[in-house]
Amino acid sequence: MLCRLREVIKKAAPDAKESINYNIPTFKLEGNLVHFGGYVNHIGFYPGSSAIIAFAKELTAYECAKGSVKFLLENPLPFELIRRMVKFRVEENLKKAKTKKKLSSL
């Protein structure tokens, strides 16, 4: 499941760089993009609070916190939802980076 999750993230964010942050796999693109990790009973997916808010209606079936969602291992992962959340974060990070560059050139 974790390997498939990694592939979905890589496909949704092909320009992102992989690293380990907070002792879990992380994808970065103009800052942290998403993190994920495997645990005893669930997979933790950490797209940040903005993605949790933006996809709140679609995440009602899952346990969520401010910037994270738990996907229980007994259920299939919602790869299409994850893909859309990653794409949302890519757009968000690129927009923030563009704004930051504009401000720094003033």
For 37, the enclosing helix (H) or strand (E) is: strand 32-38
Give the pLDDT of residue 106.
63
Which residue from 81, 72, 92 is spatially nearest to 8, judged by alpha carbons?
Answer: 81
- Give per-residue pLDDT as tens, 6-21: 999 999 999 999 999 9
Please check whether residue 26 lies inside any domain of the structure.
yes
Q: Between vectors from CA 16 to CA 92 and to CA 45, what angle results, nearest 5°?
A: 70
Please check whether residue 102 lies inside any domain of the structure.
no
How far is 59 from 31, CA to CA, in rounded Å?
Answer: 24
Q: What is the CATH number of the domain that holds 18?
A: 3.90.1150.200
How far is 3 from 57, CA to CA, in rounded Å?
Answer: 27
Give the pLDDT of residue 14.
98
Rounded mean pLDDT for each run of 10 residues along the chain, 106 residues in total: 97 98 96 97 98 98 97 97 98 93 72
What is the residue range of 79's domain?
2-90
